[in-house]
Amino acid sequence: MLQAELFAPAGYTSTYAERLAIVLGLITLGLALSTFLSCRSCVTLLTRMGWRDPTGNRAYRALYQFHSYSWAGFWLVLALHAMTGIMHAGLPSAIDPYSYLHKYILWSGAGATLVGLGVLSSCRSPLRFVDMFTSKPSLTVKGYRLFYRYHNYYWPLLFLLVATHFAVGYIHAGIWPH
């Protein structure tokens, strides 16, 4: 009984961690959208939707040049978001009435993180960094090229998992917990 009470979320601290997780989650979502908008996949999508040359637009070109930095910011804020979310949810316990929702939120977030790692590993930006430590360029490896060529298709899966994470989080806390 004492162990369950020790690991149960506490009133004010739990609400503060929940609010902080929501703020960091919204910042993470903004950085994910920024990363997608600065991705070559988005350029392809916009071109197919009828834009002549999105990189010809001065504002878009400025965003496009900072793709690597948006990845770094995304992963930094995502780590903070995950830590505060785990601080809020704590260990699953029988006395927490929201334990089942916390599990869905944490699992959908973990799934989105894994797919996000797949998106990152199929991106050209970190590939330059990896190539500094390998004897030959990564794109010359046949297995990696097969993975790399589906980069455009990993994004919708990522956004589906993020939408699930967001929806279950909204069911749990609304837009701002009381």
Task: Check if the beta carbon of residue 159 is closer than 8 Å to that of residue 111.
Answer: no
Q: Is residue 138 within 8 Å of residue 144, measured between CB atoms? A: yes
d(CA 20, CA 112): 19
The answer as to whether 92 is a domain residue is yes
Residue 3 lies in a domain: no
Q: How many whole angstroms separate alpha carbon 133 and alpha carbon 168?
A: 41
pLDDT tens digits, one per residue of 107-147: 999 999 999 998 888 887 777 777 777 777 877 878 777 78
Q: Quick one: which of 104, 87, 120 has its CA closest to 164?
A: 104
How does the average pLDDT of the chain come out, rounded? 82
Amino acid in the structure at residue 75? W
| Residue 97 belongs to domain spanning | 11-173
Asked if the structure places residue 108 within a domain, the reply is: yes
Query: What is the distance between the terminal CA atoms of the chain, rounded to a whole angstrom?
Result: 28
Task: Please check whether residue 58 lies inside any domain of the structure.
Answer: yes
Predicted pLDDT of residue 6: 46
Give the pLDDT score at 1: 44
Structural domain contains residue 53: yes
**Total count of domains within the chain:** 1
Top-confidence residue, 44 or 9: 44
Provide the whole-model pTM. Answer: 0.79
CB atoms within 10 A of CB 176: 9
Calpha distance 133→47 (Å, rounded) = 35
**DSSP assignment, residue 178?**
-
Question: Does the pLDDT of residue 5 top 80, yes or no?
Answer: no
Residue 81 — very low, low, confident or very high, per pLDDT cuts 50/70/90? very high
The C-alpha angle 21, 23, 27, rounded to 5 degrees, equals 110
The pLDDT tens digits of the residues spanning 38-65 come to 888 888 888 888 888 888 888 888 888 8
- Average pLDDT of 83-97? 77
Backbone angles phi, psi at 83, to 5 degrees: -65, -45
Residue 78 lies in a domain: yes
Residue 134 in any domain: the answer is: yes
Residue 33 within a domain: yes
